[in-house]
Amino acid sequence: MAMNMLSRRALLQMAGAAAIGNSTLLQPKDSLAGTTGEAAVRPFRFHAPQDSLDELRRRLEQTRFPERETCRDWSEGVPLAALRSLVRYWRTQFDWRRCESTLNSFPQFRTAIDGLDIHFLHVRSPHPEALPLIITHGWPGSILEFFEIIGPLANPTAHGGRREDAFHVVVPSLPGFGFSDKPRERGWNVHRIASAWTELMRRLGYSDYVAQGGDWGAWVATRLAQQRPAGLRGIHLNLPLVIPDPIPASGLSPGEQRAADSVQYLRSHEFGFFEEQATRPQTIGYALTDSPAGLAAWIYEQFYEHTDHRWPLSPNQMLDDITLYWLTGTAASSARIYFEDANLGPNGGVVELPVGCSIFPYEIYQAPRKWAEACYPRLIYWHELDRGGHFAAFEQPRLFTQELRACFRLLRDAPAKPAETAHLPRKETP
């Protein structure tokens, strides 16, 4: 992975504001700027103190690395040479101000919901008939992974699309992540977060909307659909939560067996971070909050293991996200979502609302359609792609945008019947 060159995607990211096209900033009536108290929606911008950036560089200079791994691959974790290279780039070439400028080119806000200030991006489309959409990230992701899809979703005509596919885009930071408040009490699980998202959309004046999520965002979107708030028309997932619990020991089709094998491999070889954060988030939080190199290794491993290596994330993309975690001091608070939801099984349960699924080939496991149909009786969209992984919007923003347009087009034009499913070219899952 070349550390001394910006990728095409990084160059596009630098265009931040231009990518939004002619999307409009919120007007006072939309932002509830005149409202006082907890219901107030307040504009937000972020400028990292230079002292914080200088301290980060000093800490990177003083990194104490362990010895080299005893293997020649990633089986023991991030190889020493790979992390040294990433840390060197972070210390000598990475520019947080570039990312910060892009972040501040989007309309950002904070509003208090259920005792916490929730941070979110809110980009209204220039097309008044646009469909409101709330998108939720996961761990170790953030709102940054959606930068390149917001413009095309909000203003499709400025990006080669149709105005009929326009969205008003809302992208909140999960509690304990980014610029949202850190919970000071137990109980901020995915169920409570979904309820907060309902209040957020109500507060923004949206009585008719759709939701999307992957990773923890898939859990939030699933719980949101199961709560069935007034106005939610359907959801889209890039990680369907449809693993039978337990997985049958026999009678599986070849596709189901591959999915079962990948789940078993994930549990036995790649779940160390999950178990630590689900049981001792405070303990791991000390190390990750104190050592930027440690934080980088913790997150870098996830970006490496669960992305499509044919189109790897650039150093800037990874470090934008890692630096956000560092500057906001959210290593421990973001890990607590695993602790709060440690009792969740591998299956999210039945969703009665319309559901669309996009299956990316380097996702942590390939959900078989049969398993999805058992949980989603109104499965309106199913598409298996040929590239992309767990961080789909970050890795393949153009394809991800197309997936959301295609899925929710079915709800705009003609709500699907319970058994109706979009039939698109796809890889068959036996």
Rounded CA-CA distance 182/406 in Å is 36
Q: Can you tell me which residue has the tokens 């979110």?
A: 120
> What's the 3-state SS for 184-241?
CCCCCCHHHHHHHHHHHHHHCCCCCEEEEECCHHHHHHHHHHHHCCCCEEEEEECCCC
Q: Can you tell me which residue has the tokens 């007034």?
A: 230
Count of domains for the chain: 1
pLDDT (0 to 100) of residue 35: 55
Give per-residue pLDDT as tens, 228-271.
Answer: 999 999 999 999 999 999 999 899 999 999 999 999 999 898 88
Strand order in the sheet with 232-237: 41-43, 108-113, 116-123, 167-172, 131-136, 209-213, 232-237, 355-359, 379-384
pLDDT (0 to 100) of residue 37: 64
Residues 386 and 366: beta-carbon distance below 8 Å = no
The full length of the chain comes to 430
In this structure, the number of other CB atoms found within 10 A of the CB of residue 11 comes to: 11
**Does the residue 3 lie in any domain?**
no
Q: Which amino acid is at 416?
A: A
Helix 292-305, helix 80-92: angle, nearest 10: 120
pLDDT (0 to 100) of residue 33: 45
pLDDT (0 to 100) of residue 135: 99
Range of the domain at 354: 8-413
Report the chain's mean pLDDT, rounded to a whole number: 90
Structure tokens at 149: 């899809």
pLDDT (0 to 100) of residue 207: 95
Nearest residue to 189 via CA among 362, 367, 24, 337 = 337
Residues belonging to the active site: 215, 338, 390
**Does the residue 348 lie in any domain?**
yes
C-alpha pair distances (Å), 370 with each of 61, 290, 428: 52, 45, 11
Q: Which amino acid is at 125?
A: S
Q: What is the DSSP letter of 356?
A: E
**Does the residue 166 lie in any domain?**
yes
pLDDT (0 to 100) of residue 73: 96
CATH, residue 204: 3.40.50.1820
Structure tokens at 354: 């319309």
State the maximum Cα–Cα separation within the chain, in Å, rounded to a whole number: 61
Cis peptide bond N-terminal to 140, omega within 30: yes
Contacts for 162 with CB less than 8 Å, ≥ 6 apart:
156
**Does the residue 418 lie in any domain?**
no
**Does the residue 424 lie in any domain?**
no
What percent of the chain shows pLDDT beyond 90?
84
Query: In tens digits, what is the pLDDT along the chain, a chain of 430 residues?
Result: 433 333 434 333 433 434 344 433 343 334 454 455 668 999 999 999 999 999 999 999 999 999 999 999 999 999 999 999 999 999 999 999 999 999 999 999 999 999 999 999 999 999 999 999 999 999 999 999 999 999 999 999 999 999 999 999 999 999 999 999 999 999 999 999 999 999 999 999 999 999 999 999 999 999 999 999 999 999 999 999 999 999 998 999 999 999 999 999 998 988 899 999 999 999 999 999 999 999 999 999 999 999 999 999 999 999 999 999 999 999 999 999 999 999 999 999 999 999 999 999 999 999 999 999 999 999 999 999 999 999 999 999 999 999 999 999 999 965 444 434 444 444 333 3
Main-chain dihedrals φ then ψ at residue 347, nearest 5 degrees: -115, 130
**Does the residue 398 lie in any domain?**
yes
**Does the residue 234 lie in any domain?**
yes
pLDDT (0 to 100) of residue 70: 98
Residues 213 and 235: beta-carbon distance below 8 Å = yes
Q: Which uninterrupted H or E stretch holds 10?
A: helix 8-13
Give per-residue pLDDT as tens, 162-194.
Answer: 999 999 999 999 999 999 999 999 999 999 999
Structure tokens at 14: 């630098």
**Does the residue 315 lie in any domain?**
yes
- Residue 189's Cα: distance from chain center in Å? 16
Terminal CA-to-CA distance of the chain, rounded, Å?
36
